[in-house]
């Protein structure tokens, strides 16, 4: 009897443990996503509902639209500019926080603040920083004898500005994730390194980094998904249309324009499925890397 129970336990319990996620995801994630897939096959007006069945026409129009490729390129460009320095900074901040500090818990809470600050405050602060005529950044630049930059007008400067905004909002967040991973590194490893007389930098490289590699990859996956669904920061940075040349319109802004400004729900649904496919592929590639790294590490 006990054996049977144990076997049942081994067979059934894992499913019970993961069930809540799948039930909720099925109802509130999968169902809307499936409805969206169905919408994408129609000429579907957001307010009036389905106008006509059009099959793959929305997708065909999407892949023929230069605006889509521009949004894709913008998204990728901002993603690279924002993610790489941001994850490196987060690692540095985490390493600093990992040292013995008084009031360390308060420090930790403070680095998360950029993520807590309401977006309207963030928008105002960055509008001030990157203002063309009275922005702090241009004021500093002019101190070095440079001409003021019209940050929102050019692709490179707008991408840079949005990237700074993204990095500022998420660095502390990722630093906390790294810190939690560092804290989980068994103490014996550190002690062994200390006995070997390793410098702090050596210990960090040979003990800490390998132990938190899975978390590094985890944040890379999340940053990828988040980066390709970037919407809030560029909208706050320079308005919902992404600039006069749409030079900083991201994919989700492009989706939003179709759905909520042109009310073309069918087209927007097609965009969101393409976006989903893109994110899923990138995430699964990352997850494969992650699994390899876990096995390897």
- Within residues 8-67, the interface with other proteins by CB under 8 A covers 9-11, 13-15, 17-18, 20-22, 24-25, 27-33, 35-36, 39, 45-49
Asked if 244 interacts with other proteins (CB under 8 A), we say yes
Asked if 150 interacts with other proteins (CB under 8 A), we say yes
Token pair belonging to 167 = 């990095």
Sole window of 71-79, 141-149, 170-178, 191-199 interacting with other proteins (rule: CB under 8 A): 170-178
Asked if 81 interacts with other proteins (CB under 8 A), we say no
Asked if 86 interacts with other proteins (CB under 8 A), we say no
Least CB distance to other proteins at residue 96 (A): 5
Nearer to other proteins by C-beta: 81 or 164?
164
Nearer to other proteins by C-beta: 153 or 203?
153
Q: What angle do CA 274, 20, 289 make, to 5 degrees?
A: 50
Cα dihedral sign, 55-37-253-160: negative
In DSSP terms, 52 is beta-bridged to 43
Sole window of 68-76, 77-85, 114-122, 191-199 interacting with other proteins (rule: CB under 8 A): 114-122
42: part of which helix (H) or strand (E)? Answer: strand 42-45
Least CB distance to other proteins at residue 133 (A): 7
Burial of 52 (0-12, 13-18, 19+ CB in 10 A): exposed
Cα dihedral sign, 149-160-63-240: negative
Least CB distance to other proteins at residue 283 (A): 5
Asked if 1 interacts with other proteins (CB under 8 A), we say no
Asked if 222 interacts with other proteins (CB under 8 A), we say yes
Three-class DSSP category at 184 = coil
Sole window of 52-60, 76-84, 92-100, 202-210 interacting with other proteins (rule: CB under 8 A): 92-100
Q: Say how many residues touch other proteins, by CB under 8 A.
A: 116
Three-class DSSP category at 136 = helix
Residue 137 CA to residue 146 CA, distance in Å, equals 11
Residue 188 CA to residue 199 CA, distance in Å, equals 16
CA distances to 30, 31, 100, 130, 274 from 35, rounded to whole Å, are 9, 6, 52, 41, 15
* Position among 1, 118, 195, 199 found at the interface with other proteins (CB under 8 A): 118
Asked if 196 interacts with other proteins (CB under 8 A), we say no
Mutual orientation of helices 265-296 and 57-64 as an angle, nearest 10°? 70
* Position among 133, 143, 145, 296 found at the interface with other proteins (CB under 8 A): 133
* Position among 73, 80, 180, 192 found at the interface with other proteins (CB under 8 A): 180
Asked if 215 interacts with other proteins (CB under 8 A), we say yes
């Amino acid at each position: 009897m006990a054996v049977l129970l144990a076997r049942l336990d081994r067979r059934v319990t894992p499913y019970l443990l993961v069930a809540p996620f799948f039930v909720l995801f099925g109802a509130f994630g999968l169902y809307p996503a499936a409805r969206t897939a169905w919408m994408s096959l129609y000429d579907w007006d957001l307010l009036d509902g389905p106008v006509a069945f059009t099959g793959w026409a929305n997708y065909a129009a999407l892949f023929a639209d230069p605006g889509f490729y521009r949004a894709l390129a913008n998204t990728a460009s901002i993603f690279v500019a924002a993610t790489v320095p941001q994850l490196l900074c987060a690692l540095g901040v985490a390493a600093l926080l990992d040292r013995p500090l008084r009031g360390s818990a308060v420090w930790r809470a403070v680095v998360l603040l950029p993520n807590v600050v309401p977006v309207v405050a963030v928008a105002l602060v960055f509008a001030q920083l990157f203002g063309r005529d009275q922005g702090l950044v241009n004021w500093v630049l002019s101190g070095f004898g440079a001409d003021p930059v019209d940050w929102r007008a050019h692709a490179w400067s707008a991408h840079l500005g949005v990237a700074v905004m993204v990095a500022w909002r998420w660095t502390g967040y990722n630093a906390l994730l790294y810190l939690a991973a560092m804290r989980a590194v068994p103490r014996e490893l550190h002690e062994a390194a200390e006995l070997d007389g390793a410098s702090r930098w050596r210990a960090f490289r040979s003990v800490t980094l390998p132990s938190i590699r899975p978390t590094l990859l985890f944040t890379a996956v999340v940053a990828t998904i988040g980066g390709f669904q970037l919407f809030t920061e560029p909208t706050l940075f320079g308005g919902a249309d992404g600039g006069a040349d749409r030079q900083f319109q991201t994919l989700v802004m492009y989706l939003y324009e179709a759905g909520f400004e042109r009310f073309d729900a069918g087209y927007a649904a097609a965009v969101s499925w393409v976006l989903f496919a893109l994110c899923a592929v990138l995430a699964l590639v990352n997850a494969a890397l992650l699994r390899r790294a876990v096995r390897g590490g």
